Amino acid sequence: MKVNVKRLQRDFDNIAQFGQLANGGVTRLAFSQADLQARTYLKQVMVELKLEVYIDAFGNMRGRREGQLSLPPVVIGSHLDTVPDGGHYDGVVGLIGALEVIRVLNNNKIITPRPIEIINFSCEESSRFRAGTLGSKVLIGKITKEALKQLADKDGISLYEALEKSGFNPEDIDNSRIYPGEIFAFIEMHIEQGPVLEQEKHHVGIVTAIAAPTRYKVIIEGRADHSGNTPMYMRKDALTAASELILGVEEIAKNQAGEKTVGTVGYIYAQPGAMNVVPGRVELGIDIRDINMEDKKSAVGKVIKLISDIQERREIIINYEQLSDEEPVVLSEKVIKTIEEEAKTQNLSYKIMPSGAGHDAMYMANVTDVGMIFIPSIGGVSHNINEYSRMEDVAKGTELLLGATLKLTQEECDS
Ligand SMILES: [Zn+2]
């Protein structure tokens, strides 16, 4: 029983057409025409593979392959939507892998004990509506109808309207919910979006936990002054204060927090932004992540302390607002073990690792046992037109996905 690289490549190439850019990248925003075209393709392939297709009120698409028993299914899949000017691998590899798993089972006429379902989550990327992993949040009841009306894209189109326009039924999202016990296990195969697997030459990663960010928007209020006539000791330079904070975040994440803590100041706006003016106001964003809540809390505490130190010492005002503070999610020991045993059987070189990025898998963990398989990202590049993973690696990951899925479909079936 073998995964076929050519078939994976064919599905990949077919999906890549939707939203393809001249520069080689892809823009397939949630519920855009390109996204809807990709969904239509996915549905068509699901039907060809004799899956029973079900699309919920939020557009989440599930294709079901019945098993010998009417037990909760093993679910595999990911997402088709992308960021603007994104790459072709983020999300897509999880779906082409899932389709190939079904194809191999069909070709070998295998009926698994438990059913298997493929899922495509709607609106995983936050690019269009400034909120991500919405499909899985709808499934676990974390999104209300009212929220659909409040979330809007840059043209003012609400998520509610976008859903209606796409032929879905936002009024009915409460009926899309999945409850604990309805799914036996969920595995998402995804690109790593970081450089570790390639650098350490592993075939795949097996994810143990998903780090969630704590984010702050920080406004530093100094005073804009003439850069020639204001002596150094009289200045309230917001940008030099910001520099201290930025280096401090790096130092704290690197040397004063947990082993896996990462801290980033990803943007900064300095005003007024002129060569001859001492910067009077700076806005910046801090993003701190860890898979260990205690380590993250400790890092965040140190950053807050640093902010008040800088404020006092430089006699300026620093306001900060917490934008998010989510809990890291630990994935299922049972599923991790199943994937790891299968990786050993297949002689794969694997790394047990955390995910620094959020995925639908973290919300699915509220209702079922969840695991993730990572495929090496060449150069660690993602959310970028240069995002690339080798199809041989995708095939290895798919082989692992197939083996682990088969094992899970056989578990706890005797009753
Ligand atoms: Zn993704």
pLDDT of residue 326: 84
Q: How far apart, in whole angstroms, are the C-alpha atoms of residue 339 and residue 345?
A: 10
Instruction: Enumerate the H helices of 117-262 as residue ranges.
Output: 134-139, 145-150, 159-165, 196-199, 238-255
pLDDT higher than 70, residue 45: yes
Same domain, 67 and 166: yes
Provide, rounded to the nearest whole percent, the portion of the chain with pLDDT above 70: 100
Same domain, 248 and 130: no
pLDDT per residue as tens digits for the range 332-343: 999 999 999 999
In the reported structure, the alpha carbon of residue 85 is separated from the centroid of ligand 1 by a whole-number distance in angstroms of 14
Q: How far apart, in whole angstroms, are the C-alpha atoms of residue 303 and residue 5?
A: 47
In the reported structure, the alpha carbon of residue 124 is separated from the centroid of ligand 1 by a whole-number distance in angstroms of 7
Domain closes at, from 310, 325, 340:
325
pLDDT of residue 405: 98
Same domain, 352 and 264: no
In the reported structure, the alpha carbon of residue 166 is separated from the centroid of ligand 1 by a whole-number distance in angstroms of 21
Domain closes at, from 325, 347, 371:
325
Q: Which CATH number characterizes residue 197's domain? A: 3.40.630.10
pLDDT of residue 223: 97
Output the CA angle 82-87-91, nearest 5 degrees: 50
Q: How far apart, in whole angstroms, are the C-alpha atoms of residue 125 and residue 85?
A: 13
In the reported structure, the alpha carbon of residue 91 is separated from the centroid of ligand 1 by a whole-number distance in angstroms of 4
pLDDT higher than 90, residue 324: no
In the reported structure, the alpha carbon of residue 241 is separated from the centroid of ligand 1 by a whole-number distance in angstroms of 35
**Mean local confidence (pLDDT), 2-28:** 97
Same domain, 193 and 243: no
Same domain, 11 and 129: yes
- Report which of 122, 141, 131 is spatially closest to residue 182, judged by C-alpha positions: 141
In the reported structure, the alpha carbon of residue 46 is separated from the centroid of ligand 1 by a whole-number distance in angstroms of 21
59 — alpha (psi -120 to 50), left (phi > 0) or beta? left
C-beta of residue 350 within 8 angstroms of C-beta of residue 197: no
pLDDT of residue 61: 98
User: pLDDT band at residue 160, thresholds of 50, 70 and 90?
Assistant: very high
Same domain, 139 and 254: no
- Residue 343 forms part of a structural domain: yes
In a 3-state reduction of DSSP, which class is residue 211? coil
In the reported structure, the alpha carbon of residue 274 is separated from the centroid of ligand 1 by a whole-number distance in angstroms of 39
Same domain, 400 and 297: no
In the reported structure, the alpha carbon of residue 190 is separated from the centroid of ligand 1 by a whole-number distance in angstroms of 7
pLDDT of residue 394: 98
pLDDT of residue 415: 59
In a 3-state reduction of DSSP, which class is residue 255? helix
Mean pLDDT of the chain: 96
pLDDT per residue as tens digits for the range 246-299: 999 999 999 999 999 999 999 999 999 999 999 999 999 999 999 999 999 999
**Mean local confidence (pLDDT), 390-413:** 97
C-beta of residue 217 within 8 angstroms of C-beta of residue 323: yes
Residue 200: domain span: 5-210+328-410
**Residue 97, token pair as written in the block:** 């892998």
In the reported structure, the alpha carbon of residue 5 is separated from the centroid of ligand 1 by a whole-number distance in angstroms of 21
CA 73 vs. chain centroid, Å, equals 23
pLDDT higher than 90, residue 201: yes
